[in-house]
Amino acid sequence: MSEHDLTFDAMGSHVRLLIGEPGSGVAPAEEAAERAREFVLEFDAALSRFRPDSQLCALNEDPRERVPASDLLREAVRAGLWAAERSDGLVDPTLVREIEHAGYVASRAGMSGLPLDEALREAPARRPARPRPERRWREVEVDEEAGEIVRPPGLRFDSGGTGKGLAADLVAGALRGYSRFIVDCGGDIRIGGADALVSPYEVFVEHPLSGERAHVLRLGSGGVATSGLNVRIWKSEDGRYAHHLLDPASGEPAWTGLIGATALGDTAVEAETLSKAALLSGPQRGRELLADRGGLLVHDSGRVELVGPLAVAPRIRIPSLEGTG
Amino acid sequence: MTERGRIRRPGPGAVIWGSIVLFAVLFALLTYRLSVGADPSLSGSASAAAQPVQVRKVIKRRVVTTIVPTPGANTVTSGPATSASYASGAITTSAS
């Protein structure tokens, strides 16, 4: 069972592809991996908030209400709106002004964040994040017939909340003819192929405080993603610790009692959405959000809590011969 | 001609009727004994009824588990990550 293994940098993260044997009439795995790499790089160039020449930046600066958009940009906006609906507004793609105000105005790829444990000591009282009452993402529409995105001029869109998951899902869609594959876009992962159902992939969950492996999942299909505070911690101009996961209601970094959340989903976009929503919701609501598909919550204390199907310990009943007389 | 030579063999009718009568008599006798509870085939086990009867029942229980993956859904098992299970180059999900 050989797999082609390709790793490269994109979207401010490492991307890794493992692709198994091709079906009949399907290109060799090496060729598919190279095509996938080119696609991810194009995806990054088109949808990065930090590239002034990206399609996303062009959309956000366009003064028209209706803006012609490529298939990829429309797909990204659709994914962002879907995530907002799925999370009831917690994963809000219209918080560009707020995230810039918090200090996240340029890519932090390659930058080491400040220590999370220090930030936790100085963080304000923990409370669950809430959706922004205006729910401005509902003002954004995708007009597929016209190939346009419709929104009030000045309302900026950020595909960052679902970007890596969407990239993983789109690459996975092109790998359906292979026996097994895993697409890892910076920790947002999509798995597929019939052989993966038989021999699942092992996916380790990194602990946000220690950096060690906190758990291992054996996955045969679907998506898994992790959100955490540990990789992007900085100090804002007023000297307070900040990170990139905002409470939509306040526009401020959310301190909810959780520092990490890993979620399973049908797709990487769903997993990414659920993991962000769970982390923003805090322990109680986070548990409810992950109860159906399963996941992990990492509390401020570092405690790892398994949720949903993962919390159910496997029960092995050994067949026995019973006799009487 | 000797005396022995005068002995007459029974005719076929006598043999047939004799057989039928003998069968009927034996059949009636056995039917009577069965009807009064004296089955001759069980006559030798009269004392066995007092012996304890050992009934041995063997139950074989076999648990069969079939996992049918739902299309589009994860199939997942999980466990604690031990250093032994970690290999370099492992796929890891983490915040990014």
Angle at A9 between CA A84 and CA A77, to 5 degrees: 20
In angstroms, the CA B78 to CA A21 distance is: 26
* Residues A205 and A213: beta-carbon distance below 8 Å: yes
ipTM of this complex: 0.77
Strands (E) located in chain A: 4-10, 13-19, 66-68, 141-143, 148-150, 181-185, 188-192, 201-206, 213-219, 222-228, 233-235, 241-243, 246-247, 252-253, 258-265, 295-299, 304-307, 321-324
In angstroms, the CA A145 to CA A300 distance is: 47
Report percent pLDDT > 90 for chain A.
Answer: 76
CB pair distance less than 8 Å for B81 and A187: no
CB pair distance less than 8 Å for B81 and A262: no
Exposure class string for A131-157: b at 16+ Cβ within 10 A, else e: bbeeebbeebebeeeeebbbbeeeebb
**Residue A324 clears pLDDT 70, i.e. is over it:** no
A27 vs A242, residue with greater confidence: A27
Shortest Cα distance from A66 to chain B (angstroms)? 33
Q: How many CA atoms lie within 13 A of A313 on its CB side?
A: 4
- What is the pLDDT, as a whole number, of residue B87? 47
Q: Which residues of A touch B93 (CB under 8 A)?
A: 184, 187-189, 203-206, 217, 224-226, 262
Q: Is the pTM of this model over 0.80?
A: no
Query: What's CA B75's distance to the chain center, in Å?
Result: 44
- What is the pLDDT, as a whole number, of residue B76? 64
User: Which residues are CB-contacts of A131 (< 8 A; sequence separation ≥ 6)?
Assistant: A88, A89, A90, A92, A248, A249
Task: Work out the pLDDT band at B31, boundaries 50, 70, 90.
Answer: very high
Report percent pLDDT > 90 for chain B.
Answer: 21
Interface of B with A in 38-57 (CB under 8 A): 54-57
A115 vs B49, residue with greater confidence: A115
A79 vs B57, residue with greater confidence: A79
- What is the pLDDT, as a whole number, of residue A242? 87
**Residue B66 clears pLDDT 50, i.e. is over it:** no
Q: Which residues of A touch B80 (CB under 8 A)?
A: 215-216
Could you give the dihedral angle defined by the CA atoms of residues A263, A165, A134 and A129, in that order, rounded to the nearest 10 degrees? 30
In angstroms, the CA A257 to CA A264 distance is: 21
Which residues lie across from A178 on neighbouring strands?
A: A22
Query: What's CA A190's distance to the chain center, in Å?
Result: 11
In angstroms, the CA A214 to CA A223 distance is: 18
Mean local confidence (pLDDT), A62-68: 97
Residue A242 identity (one-letter amino acid): A
Residue B80 identity (one-letter amino acid): P
Average pLDDT of chain B to the nearest whole number? 72
**Residue A293 clears pLDDT 80, i.e. is over it:** yes
DSSP count for chain A of H helices, then E strands = 8, 18
Site of tokens 């069972």: A1
CB pair distance less than 8 Å for B96 and A186: yes
